[in-house]
Amino acid sequence: MTRPLHLHPDRLFPADPATRAIARGLYAEVAHLPILSPHGHTDPAWFATDAPFENATELLLKPDHYVFRMLYSQGIPLQSLGINDPSADPRAAWRVFAENYHLFRGTPSRMWLDHVWAEVFGFDVAFEAATADLYYDTITAALATPAFRPRALFDRFNIELIATTESPIDSLDHHATIRAENARDGGWKGRVITAFRPDPVVDPEFVSSDGGFLDNLAKLSAMTGEDALSYPGYLSALRQRRADFAAMGATSTDHGHPTALTADLTETEAEALFARVTKPAPMPADAELFRAHMLTVMAGMSIEDGLVMQIHPGSFRNHNDWLFRTYGRDKGADIPTATDYVTALRPLLNKHGNDPALSIILFTLDETSYSRELAPLAGHYPALKLGPAWWFHDSPEGMRRFREQVTETAGFYNTVGFNDDTRAFLSIPARHDVARRIDCGFLARLVAEHRLEDWEAAELAVDLAYNLAKRAYKL
C-alpha cells in the first residue's frame, strides 16, 4: 500500500495562528518572484547543449553529495549508488535510494526532494521502496521530453539568472556557446553567467584527479601566454583570466580557502614566498601564508575590475582519505571547522576595507561566529556583506539562527538575500521556496511583536527574496 505525498501550503510557517497568517500574506507577495541564483555549481554544458538529462539516477542521485553522504553514513557503499561507475545499473542504484529514503526524515534534502517530486514531476504518492520503479520510470520518461530539457526547465522555474562556477583554467567554451545563443535572433535568452573560482591556482596544496597546483600553473601559462611560474607573470595571468571571465558575464569571484586568514606582504616577501610554494611539496605554513596573501591580492584586483569577492572558508576538505583516494573530491567528506574572522581578515581590511569600490561577501560554516564576529564586522566595514546560511546550515533552523543572531547587529541590509549554492538543478526552486518561507516567518514574528510595521515587512520580504542579491552581485 502506497502512502500519499502532500506538500502543506503552510509548511515552515510559524505555529501561532496569528503569526502564521501574517507570514502567509508576506509569502504571497514573494512566492512567484523570479529566481536569482548568483552562486552555484550547475554544469554550464546543460544550458549550452540543451541535451536531455539521461535518467533519474544521473540527475537526482549521483551529483548530489547531500544525498549520498547520508546514505554512506549508514554504511551503504557508494558503489551500490553507481558513484564513479558508468557501468553500474542506474535502476538498481535508484532502488537503494528509495529503500533508504526514510533516512532523510527531518532534513533539508527531504524537503527539497519532496518539492521536486510533487511540483516538478507531479507525484501524489510518497517515494519509498514500493514506488521506486514508478518514480524511476516516470522521471526518466519525462526527462526524454522537450518540456524537461535544461533550457525549458530554466524557463519553467522562472530563473532570471544563474551563475555557474569555473576555475581559471576552464576554457569557458560552454559559456561562449550560451552567449552566442542569447545573441542569435530567436535564440534562447536564459541568462547564465560564470564566476571566477581561483582555488586550483592559488592553493599550493590543491590536488584533484586532473592534477595539482603546479600542473595547473602550467595550464594557466599555456592559456594566457604568461609565465605563471614567475610571480609577475602569475599575477598578469590571473588578471587576464579575470577579464576573460568578466567578458563571459562574471560579476563575482569565489574563494574556498580552509581559513579566512589574510596577509599583506611586500613585493619582495611575496616573490620569495611564491618561489617556495612553486617547488614540489611546499611547507604547509608557506601554503597557508600564500593563500592568505592571495586573498588580499584578489581584493586589490576586485577594486580594479569591479568583481564582487566571495569568501567561503572553514571547510576541512576531503577529511576521509580513503574516500578521496578512491572516489575523488566532492564526495560528501568535507567537514566544518571553527573559523576566526576578526584577526584573520584584519590585514585585508586594513589595506582595502574602507575602499567603496570593494565588495566582499562573507560566508561561514561556523555558526558561533555569527553574533560574535561576522555581524559586528559587516555592521562596520562598508566593504563587507554577509552571505546566507550556507551548506550544512542551508536548512530551516540554520536560516532562523542566522537571522536571529545577525539582524540585531548587522541589520537586514548588510546581508545579501539567498543563494542556493547547488549542483542539483531541480532543487533550485525548492531551496529558494524554503528560504522565502523562513524569511517571511521571521518577518511575521517581528510584525506580531510590533517591532516592524506590516508595510516594512512587505518591503523586506521582496528585498530578501530578490533585491538584495541583485544589488550585492551587481546583476
Q: In angstroms, rounded to a whole number, what is the distance separating the alpha carbons of residues 299 and 359?
A: 9
The whole domain housing 128 covers: 52-145
Q: Please write the tens of the pLDDT for every residue from 21-52.
A: 999 999 999 999 999 999 999 999 999 999 99
CATH number for the domain harbouring residue 327: 3.20.20.140
How would residue 63 be classed by pLDDT, with cut points 50, 70 and 90?
Answer: confident
- Per the domain annotation, does 26 fall within a domain? yes
User: Sign of the CA dihedral 15, 21, 26, 27?
Assistant: positive
Verify that 252 and 191 share a domain, yes or no.
yes
Out of 125, 145, 165, pick the residue that ends a domain.
145
pTM of the model as a whole: 0.96
Out of 87, 116, 145, pick the residue that ends a domain.
145
Please spell the DSSP secondary structure of 350-372, one letter per residue: HHHTT-TT--EEE--S-TTHIII
CATH number for the domain harbouring residue 92: 1.10.2020.10
Verify that 352 and 430 share a domain, yes or no.
yes
- Per the domain annotation, does 1 fall within a domain? no
Q: Please write the tens of the pLDDT for every residue from 307-328.
A: 999 999 999 999 999 999 998 8
Strand partners, 362: 311, 386
Verify that 42 and 57 share a domain, yes or no.
no
CB atoms < 10 A from the CB of 36, how many? 26
Verify that 44 and 87 share a domain, yes or no.
no
Verify that 237 and 113 share a domain, yes or no.
no
pLDDT of residue 302: 98
Residues 6+ apart with CB under 8 A from 389: 395, 398, 399, 401, 402
Verify that 38 and 116 share a domain, yes or no.
no
- Per the domain annotation, does 4 fall within a domain? no
- Per the domain annotation, does 124 fall within a domain? yes
- Per the domain annotation, does 340 fall within a domain? yes
Is the per-residue pLDDT at 427 higher than 80?
Answer: yes
Question: What is the chain's alpha carbon radius of gyration, rounded to the nearest angstrom?
Answer: 23
- Per the domain annotation, does 9 fall within a domain? no
Residues 6+ apart with CB under 8 A from 212: 206
Verify that 122 and 266 share a domain, yes or no.
no
Letter string b/e over residues 113-125, b meaning 16 or more CB atoms within 10 A of that residue's CB: bbbbbeebbebee
Q: Please write the tens of the pLDDT for every residue from 116-156.
A: 999 999 999 999 999 999 999 999 999 999 999 999 999 99
Residues in the chain: 475
Q: Please write the tens of the pLDDT for every residue from 445-468.
A: 999 999 999 999 999 999 999 999
Q: Please write the tens of the pLDDT for every residue from 230-244.
A: 999 999 999 999 999
pLDDT of residue 209: 76
Is the per-residue pLDDT at 214 higher than 90?
Answer: yes
Verify that 222 and 140 share a domain, yes or no.
no
- 3-class state of residue 306 by DSSP: coil
Out of 145, 177, 208, pick the residue that ends a domain.
145
Verify that 285 and 377 share a domain, yes or no.
yes
Q: Please write the tens of the pLDDT for every residue from 333-392.
A: 899 999 999 999 999 999 999 999 999 999 999 999 999 999 999 999 999 999 999 999
Verify that 265 and 389 share a domain, yes or no.
yes
Q: Domain total for the chain?
A: 2
Alpha helices in 79-212 (DSSP H): 90-99, 108-115, 132-143, 150-156, 173-183, 199-202
- Per the domain annotation, does 203 fall within a domain? yes
What grid cell was written down for 327?
Answer: 572516489
Give backbone dihedrals phi and psi of 182, rounded to 5 degrees, phi first. Answer: -60, -35
- What's the whole-number mean pLDDT along residues 270-289? 97
User: Sign of the CA dihedral 365, 65, 291, 283?
Assistant: positive
Verify that 192 and 136 share a domain, yes or no.
no
pLDDT of residue 246: 98
> Are the C-beta atoms of residues 48 and 42 closer than 8 Å to each other?
no
pLDDT of residue 330: 82
Query: Could you identify the residue written with the cell 604568461?
Result: 226
Q: In angstroms, rounded to a whole number, what is the distance separating the alpha carbons of residues 433 and 148?
A: 20
- Per the domain annotation, does 181 fall within a domain? yes
> Are the C-beta atoms of residues 220 and 241 closer than 8 Å to each other?
yes
Verify that 315 and 462 share a domain, yes or no.
yes
Alpha helices in 144-230 (DSSP H): 150-156, 173-183, 199-202, 213-224
Indicate the average pLDDT of the chain: 97
Calculate ∠ Cα 234-288-38, nearest 5°. 70
Half-sphere exposure of residue 112, counting CA atoms within 13 Å on the CB side?
A: 23
